[in-house]
Structure 1
């Protein structure tokens, strides 16, 4: 029986876990996703489904705006730690600077939130999280990774967010060289979390996308498509 059980486990791991398949003709928001508008003083980024150069996608339009399009999820990163997706931008932002609060904007970003057991966090971190949740609500995660399309920093740059060290920024695309077309990404989320936060026990709890321009006052348009998780030795399953 043991070889059969191992084969069954391998088959499950080899099957892509889809967490963001969109309807190119639906308009509106995709099922299971909601807009999280954190600051009522700032206009929300707009989201809609569309077919974009043959890709069923979510289009984001930001004009001096910020809001996340969010879905809750549970993914076993032990078996399927690799996140695959496609994205595109019209152009990078001109005045963004991930090192400052005034420049903390991105033409496109993919946001992963994590839950960490309280016992694994020190008292200072737990206190800071409590304050943040008092200001912004219970949705503030214990830790977060932002994969971003930046305007100027080198690909591979990893830094704390300008507002909180509990969110880390990882630059996957930078500048305008790949703007105006779909770009495929593949990231080992478990490895990226260890690189960002060390060997903390953590559970992936949410996925969000955004175009974010409230700090710079600029405009941006981006597209996102085909989010799925695969095993480390699995291939991304782009249509």
Structure 2
């Protein structure tokens, strides 16, 4: 008995008590990199959502003044959104049987990259009469008691500096890239959406956002916008990354 006791004592000193194997941790999830589509095509996983919540194919709403088409440079495909005095939006709905399955508890962070080729001149999100965003990514969480969407709008602003916040009630505008820092190169953006919601709305977000939307507009300034989008990903919390 004494010999076995000593063996287990030494074994316990040399090797700490074995913990159970951790449960599998969430990994990054690719949402969209536009590689599946032919060059020049509309990205047909995305839809136009009308004010009456009807889904339309992009071909039903695109025209020469507003369009999003897949482009290619070298071996990479991306989405180019162009507006000429117009506004456009394309949406992925967050449903398990749809194109997006996003639980903030598993993947609180959103990453994408974009490139501003041209942003509408004089546009600024803090002035209603000049409120154009050449490029934006909306995360929508629900509606308020008036039926207005509750959203965070991450923008590539023409004139406002990065980290500027503009409050429009249920819509919180957060500048994450700015034309004052220059245009032309690809810019990577990574946001902790859960933390942003907590900071901007002062409470916990719903666990499942309703949708993810790509946006571009130049209708207030009557100018034009050309912004490229690529490589949308969902990421787990930083502590979960090994």
State if a TM-score over 0.5 links the two structures.
yes
SS state at 1:196 partner: helix
2:224 to 212, 215, 219: 219
**How much has 1:200 moved relative to structure 2?**
4.0
Decide whether aligned partners of structure 1 residues 52 and 65 sit closer, same or farther in structure 2, where only a CA change above 3 A counts. Answer: farther
Check if 1:204 corresponds to 2:209.
Answer: yes
Check if 1:71 corresponds to 2:118.
Answer: no
Taking structure 2 as the reference length, the TM-score comes to 0.76
User: Greater shift after overlay, 204-213 or 170-179?
Assistant: 170-179
Q: Which residue of 2 aligns with 1:121?
A: none
Decide whether aligned partners of structure 1 residues 144 and 52 sit closer, same or farther in structure 2, where only a CA change above 3 A counts. Answer: farther
Check if 1:33 corresponds to 2:46.
Answer: yes
1: CA distance, partners of 2:109 / 2:141: 15
In structure 2, the gaps of 5 or more residues are 1-18, 52-62, 95-100
SS state at 1:102 partner: helix
SS state at 2:130 partner: coil
Deviations along 1:7-50, whole A, 9 cap, x unmatched? 42x2xx1x211222212643222232013466xxxx76211111
User: Greater shift after overlay, 171-180 or 57-66?
Assistant: 171-180
Q: Which residue of 2 aligns with 1:20?
A: 32
Determine which structure has more spread, i.e. the larger CA radius of gyration. 2
Q: Which residue of 2 aligns with 1:122?
A: none
Deviations along 1:121-165, whole A, 9 cap, x unmatched? xxxx51x32xx5xxxxxxxx3x1001001122221111113xxx1
SS state at 1:195 partner: helix
Q: Which runs of 4+ in 1 moved over 4 A?
A: none
Q: Counterparts of 1:1-239 in structure 2 under 5 Å?
A: 3-4=20-21, 6-8=22-24, 10=25, 13=26, 15-23=27-35, 25-36=38-49, 45-52=66-73, 54-73=75-94, 74-115=101-142, 125-126=144-145, 128-129=146-147, 132=148, 141=149, 143-161=150-168, 165-202=169-206, 203-233=208-238
Taking structure 1 as the reference length, the TM-score comes to 0.77
In structure 1, the gaps of 5 or more residues are 117-124, 133-140
**How much has 1:52 moved relative to structure 2?**
3.6
2: CA distance, partners of 1:115 / 1:37: 16
1: CA distance, partners of 2:239 / 2:232: 14
SS state at 1:204 partner: coil
1: CA distance, partners of 2:192 / 2:163: 13
1: CA distance, partners of 2:239 / 2:110: 11
1: CA distance, partners of 2:187 / 2:75: 14
Decide whether aligned partners of structure 1 residues 54 and 235 sit closer, same or farther in structure 2, where only a CA change above 3 A counts. Answer: farther
Decide whether aligned partners of structure 1 residues 234 and 219 sit closer, same or farther in structure 2, where only a CA change above 3 A counts. Answer: farther
Q: Which has the higher contact order (CA 8 A, sep 6+)?
A: 1
